[in-house]
Amino acid sequence: MLLGIALAALFGTGLAPAGEGEYRLPDLDELDLPRGDITFDPASMYTAIESNLFFVEPELWGGAYVEGRTLYVNAVGISTQEATRRINDLGFTTGFEVLETSTSLADFDRATTAIAEDMATSGTVGSVGPDYSQERLVVGLDGAESTGAIDDAIDRFSGATIGLGESGIDVAYYDGGRPETTASRYYDTSPYKGGAAVEFTRPGHASPAQPCTTAFSWSKGSSQYLVTAAHCTMSTSGDSYANARRIASNQSVHYHGAVTWRSGGALGTYSGLHGDVAVVKVNSGSTSARVYVGTYNTDLSRIVRAPSSIPQGMHLSTLRTSGAGPRIGNGDGEIDPDWISLVNQTVTYTSGRTYKSLTFAEHNAQCVRQGDSGGAFYTQRSDGAANAIGVTSGTNNGGSGATNCRNYYTPISYVAQDFGGALRTG
């Protein structure tokens, strides 16, 4: 049966008093989200659980999160003993705890979709997705809007309907800012690496060109690809920017490939797919299993060893981005977010596009910038190599104030799940 989303009382949602008859939206930090110990790294365990259990049986699992030095795994409809046995079968016996919960990954997906569709209808800028640590949805609204506009948005969302069996689901609200997609590093010569500058144009047109970044090299069959962001390959009016061209160190432009697949179009993520990603088939030259590291126009790089997934709540010091920044003037290229606050969030950008399954990587001051879209999120390994984490999508342009810099990426695991093939490693 279809039931309305069960909402907490107004102040139970996290809305805080701001004056007579008014209230303010809290920052995400004020929602009591999980945060792991910086010395605890469950990425290998979580990657195996995600690919072998969550992706395969989303009705039996309710997500996972890190608190302190434990990875908590939510089980739905199976006993903690059976869930523990399945995780043990993957080779893990310590560092995790199974909890019995009632809201599955599939339930969260249906709930997120219901509110996201309502957001698109109302034109409200924001985001929505699960908080696995408190078995609730969190909705990011634009705190710059009037109290009346926020009231209207909450009223609209409370009317959304989702199938959740016999129970509803709590919703908390926070100030999500105004999410924006990020639109050069230029040592981009064959073999092509992740983190390099790339431009996209319409077939038969030299301009306008959309400057973005490559994330990682990809293989499928005998073909070689570069992964980037889907929004880089589509204008806001719906024109396809199918041609990809590289930027050489002397600023000369050379065509090297074409977009052959994307997870979303003019409106955002396509139904049944995930995130904000596209793949470019390389027709001239070859790809490299490396990603550029460092700021500005560095030519330093790390070999990519493996894909990896990061759970909600993980606190780490090794996460980095690799973005080309703007072609003229360059950008920071590399920033180092240190907290994964939320995962599997649906974000509606100022462009009106809505992308599903994005992860929030927080930093108190550093944001990805224009031109970094499509670039790599990776972790530094102790052996000097890198693990591939995700593909840059956008930011809330926060930081240095009440709101953290919130950087959005598509987990690399969704590229394999939706497009097929495999990350190129060395």
Percent of the chain with pLDDT over 90: 49
* Domain boundaries 181-423, corresponding CATH code: 2.40.10.10
Write the pLDDT tens digit of every residue in 190-203: 788 898 888 888 77
Write the pLDDT tens digit of every residue in 232-284: 988 766 677 888 877 665 555 565 788 999 999 888 999 999 999 999 998 87
| Tokens standing for residue 118 | 């309502």
Average pLDDT of the chain to the nearest whole number: 83
Mean pLDDT for 36-47 is 96
Q: What is the pLDDT of residue 11?
A: 30
Is 320 in a helix, a strand, or coil? Answer: strand
Which pLDDT band holds residue 5 (cuts at 50, 70, 90)? very low
Q: What is the pLDDT of residue 400?
A: 62
Q: What is the pLDDT of residue 205?
A: 65
How many angstroms separate the CA atoms of 124 and 116, rounded? 10
Return the bridge partners of 271, or none.
Answer: none
Sequence ranges of the domains in the chain:
1-178, 181-423
Q: What is the pLDDT of residue 328?
A: 41
Which pLDDT band holds residue 9 (cuts at 50, 70, 90)? very low
Inform me whether the pLDDT recorded for 330 exceeds 50. no
Q: What is the pLDDT of residue 120?
A: 62
Which pLDDT band holds residue 118 (cuts at 50, 70, 90)? low
How many angstroms separate the CA atoms of 68 and 319, rounded? 18
Tell whether omega for the bond before 337 is within 30 degrees of 0, i.e. cis. Answer: no
Inform me whether the pLDDT recorded for 394 exceeds 80. yes
Q: Are strands 16-19 and 405-411 parallel, antiparallel or unpaired?
A: unpaired
Q: What is the pLDDT of residue 64?
A: 98
Higher pLDDT, 418 or 296: 418
Inform me whether the pLDDT recorded for 3 exceeds 50. no
Choice among 181-185, 187-191, 199-203 with the minimum mean pLDDT: 181-185
Type of residue numbered 46: Y
| Angle subtended by helix axes 105-122 and 147-158, to nearest 10 | 130
Which pLDDT band holds residue 86 (cuts at 50, 70, 90)? very high
Inform me whether the pLDDT recorded for 340 exceeds 90. yes
Q: What is the pLDDT of residue 217?
A: 95
pTM of the model: 0.85
Type of residue numbered 340: I
Inform me whether the pLDDT recorded for 20 exceeds 50. no
Inform me whether the pLDDT recorded for 229 exceeds 60. yes
